[in-house]
Amino acid sequence: MRNALFYGSGVALVTPFSGDKVDFRAFEALIHWQIDMLTDAIVILGTTGEPCTIAPSERAALIECAVSTVAGRVPLIVGAGANDTRAAVAHAQQAQALGADGLLVVTPYYNKASRAGLLAHYGAIADSVDIPIIAYNVPSRTGMNLPPETVAELLKHPMIRGVKEASGDIRQMQRLAALCPGAALYAGNDDQAYAMMALGGRGVISVVANVLPTAVHEMTASYLRGDIDLSREMQFALLDIADALFCEVNPIPVKAALAMMGRIDEELRLPLTPLEGKKRAALHKALAAWDLAEG
């Protein structure tokens, strides 16, 4: 069995903006708060962090800020995916050089890839670094699926340690667990964290943890320590807020939620735009149920 990068709840952290610039003060505060609230790993520049809108200079500064703020207290995992293998290699090498503990690498999007292309793409990235990689499967965003059979091949590389599985397909999750015993498997959808752990997964890379870090940590920790009944009840309790946080394209709702909590400005970069109308009201109601919304 390979060592996992982390066990439990890894937060897929937002990138706060203010005046179209990265709000580093808010970013640092979010990281400190997450660690204080028991989050088990910090994941930056993943889908929730709007990486496609981040300039190269901002990317380096965000990684440096996260490394210094986390200060080794929990693992720091940096998104390094791209639809150009050369760019992904450069992202991966930069993250390692700046002090990341691990990498989250999404499948190539738009270009997509054949099975051979996927193996070559991930192999090139893994060969270029000495820190572990979590492959990231999110076909609803990328337009392609990472089949369990291909994952099993990828995991033969010593630097590829696991998968963030966000296909939403429970049959695929079962096949993945069956073909990849001992791999670090993480739910990529908050509403399937319990199911993934029941299949042998290590936890979740969570959007909900942006607003409820302690609850998501305890939901995963309770399962991992053997209290599966408590974990199941907490998964059920988190379903409504998970639904609210995915009522629109991620990270639109979670940024609205954090703004309602007074933690960031509600600012996104185009083509993302702020949450509107009935969805905003439903999100506020879901936050209020957890005593999270200000005003």
> Annotated active-site positions, please?
136, 164
Question: Could you tell me the sign of the dihedral formed by the alpha carbons of 45, 280, 193, 217, in that order?
Answer: positive
Residue with tokens 């572990």: 132
Look at residues 170, 169, 94, 84 and name the one whose alpha carbon lies nearest to residue 129.
Answer: 94
CA–CA distance, 256 with 253 (Å, rounded to integer) = 5
Strands 17-18 and 21-22: antiparallel
Question: Could you tell me the sign of the dihedral formed by the alpha carbons of 14, 221, 105, 32, in that order?
Answer: positive
CA–CA distance, 92 with 261 (Å, rounded to integer) = 33
CA–CA distance, 202 with 64 (Å, rounded to integer) = 27
Q: How many CB atoms lie within 10 A of CB 266?
A: 16
CA–CA distance, 163 with 184 (Å, rounded to integer) = 7
Q: CA 94, 98, 102 angle in degrees (round to 5)?
A: 80
> What CA–CA distances, in Å, run from 178 to 137, 158, 218?
17, 19, 26
